Amino acid sequence: MENQKIDTLDKTILNTLVANARTPYAELAKLTGVSPATIHVRIEKLKAMGIIEGTHLHINAKKLGFDVCCFIGINLKSAGDYPVVLKALEKIEEVVEAYYTTGQYGVFIKILCSSIEDLQWLLIDKIQSIEQVQATETLISLQNPIHRNIQL
């Protein structure tokens, strides 16, 4: 798929919405010097192009007791095992992101759980017990100082 072409107005709209997705169309119109109707049309166009995929709510996982964030590199027994492993990982609620990667790991996942003990249980009983998983390596995140979307 080729990159979508957008203009300066589209970029301004996107950057503003990334900073605050709840920015009213009227405020975007004032900021950009166009009508709210134009903003509406542009946002609908960006949705139709697949550039805007939705509006997201960010939840502070630590405030809900998810104190452990870690990344787990997974080595598969064979590259063909990816679909089966992915299906098994989708059933594990603590898996919040998964990537099919090149390099050392076939799959790289992000986990949120409440404690190191929960992480240990998760690794032994849920992830390493998947038959097609050959080995795992766990990296525990100490903090997430940068968390942002792409700026245009």
Predicted confidence (pLDDT) per residue in 108-141, tens digit: 999 999 999 999 999 999 999 999 999 999 999 9
Are residues 16 and 74 part of one domain?
Answer: no
pLDDT at residue 18, as a whole number: 87
Supply φ then ψ for residue 12, to 5 degrees: -65, -45
Query: Looking at the domain assignment, is residue 30 inside a domain?
Result: yes
Select the more confidently predicted residue: 57 or 104: 104
Q: Is the pTM of this model over 0.85?
A: no
96 and 25 share one domain: no
In terms of domains, do 67 and 123 share one? yes
CATH code for the domain of 30: 1.10.10.10
pLDDT tens digits along 73-96: 999 999 899 999 999 999 999 999
The pLDDT value given to residue 2: 56
Range of the structural domain that residue 38 is part of: 8-48
Residue-wise DSSP of 57-96 = ----GGGGT--EEEEEEEEESSGGGHHHHHHHHHT-TTEE
User: Is 23 in the same domain as 77?
Assistant: no
Same domain, 88 and 111: yes
Residue 32 lies in a domain: yes
